[in-house]
Amino acid sequence: MTRPLISLAALLALAAPSFAQEAAPAPPSPAEIVDQAPADEWVVIPPEDLLVMTLAPAADGSERKVVIQLMPAPFSQDWVANIRTFARAGWFDDITVNRVQDNYVAQWGDANYDNPESTGEAKPLPDGLIATDERNYTAPSEAIGLSTLLADSTRDLALKTGHVLSTSDETAGVIIANGLVDSYAQLSLFDRGWPLASNIGADDESEPAAVWPIHCYGMVGVGRNMSPDAGTGAELYTVIGHAPRHLDRNIALVGRVVEGIEHLSSLPRGKGQLGFYENEAMRTPILTVRVAADLPASERPSFEYLATDGASFARYAEARANRRDPFFIVPAGGADICNIPVPVRRTGSE
């Protein structure tokens, strides 16, 4: 006796669909939550806080632009001011990407600066640069009102369980109920669209309570020499690999790439020490770097980020930590803060 090719139950389901159990709707993916976020939960990034870096065209002639959002107060403001000075003086024009280290960083600057093997002459620095200090790699926790956020039971709960927190000037709250542990700090949090860490809750009470931006993928930092040198902002890098959190509080972070990271992360890896190019021909020229506010309106990019103190971001962050959309079998039950990237979207030109 041959076995039927389809079961009787399946035939009944085909013949009478009402007999079949209706599948529950799939939980939304993080991307779907972001797409559904209302307009009033998106925050415009001021053109003064955007840099447009134009690289030499790709081999096929296509344009390569990288847009960087600069860090807002209270973080790294001396370096950020210097970077605007460099850009407005045209100093960044015609520098090069000199280092691309796999799973780490892509770094650009004047190849003749502080390079004992260089035969060229370093570009003179522009006037008006601000002296920088490594003490400003962090900011006092009260600069973002962190004690208000962590008052009473909320603070105890957050410090015990490693919650992700979201803060703003008006509201504050726990946005993930479980599962985030930061191996590099006592607390991870989001403030006005940026991922931060804090030492609040540390055993050493003699250490001032502070907050600092962290080295997630796409973050932009300042190259420097040995301490106490803190760099001017002339040499910059972006993270193109696993988050190198050991660099937190050791280097000034000044922003993040919001568009065009692929033009840096896909560059050939350098074969020299720390990924520096041994062959000068491999360096990628940077044609121009401009503050977006200085560009003609028709060329000025416009971006906005999803407010990290809003309901949509809370749902998005929880979904990133506990994926339940159809592809996933087992929710992770937690997330590293760098695995909850703040959504940023282009809104066209002004």
Q: Contact, 306 vs 313, CB < 8 A?
A: yes
Phi/psi of residue 35, nearest 5 degrees: -60, -30
Q: Contact, 172 vs 149, CB < 8 A?
A: yes
Give pTM, 2 decimals. Answer: 0.87
Please enumerate in sequence order all residues whose Cβ is within 8 A of that of 179, keeping only pairs 6 or more positions apart, or say none: 162, 321, 322, 332, 333, 334, 335
**Residues in the chain, pLDDT under 70:** 1-23, 114-119, 149-181, 201-206, 349-350
Q: Sign (positive/negative) of CA torsion 45, 51, 53, 54?
A: positive
Reading the block at residue 68, the tokens are: 């960087």
Nearest to 108, CA basis, from 161, 48, 53, 33: 53
Average pLDDT value for the chain = 85
CA 252 to centroid of chain Cα atoms: 14
pLDDT by residue (tens digit) across 65-77? 999 999 999 999 9
Q: Contact, 67 vs 51, CB < 8 A?
A: yes
pLDDT of res. 336: 87
**Three-state secondary structure call for residue 307:** coil
Q: Contact, 262 vs 64, CB < 8 A?
A: no
Nearest to 149, CA basis, from 204, 196, 189: 189
Verify cis geometry, omega within 30 degrees of 0, for the bond prior to 228. Answer: yes
Q: Contact, 303 vs 346, CB < 8 A?
A: yes
Verify cis geometry, omega within 30 degrees of 0, for the bond prior to 74. Answer: yes
Reading the block at residue 65, the tokens are: 């632009």
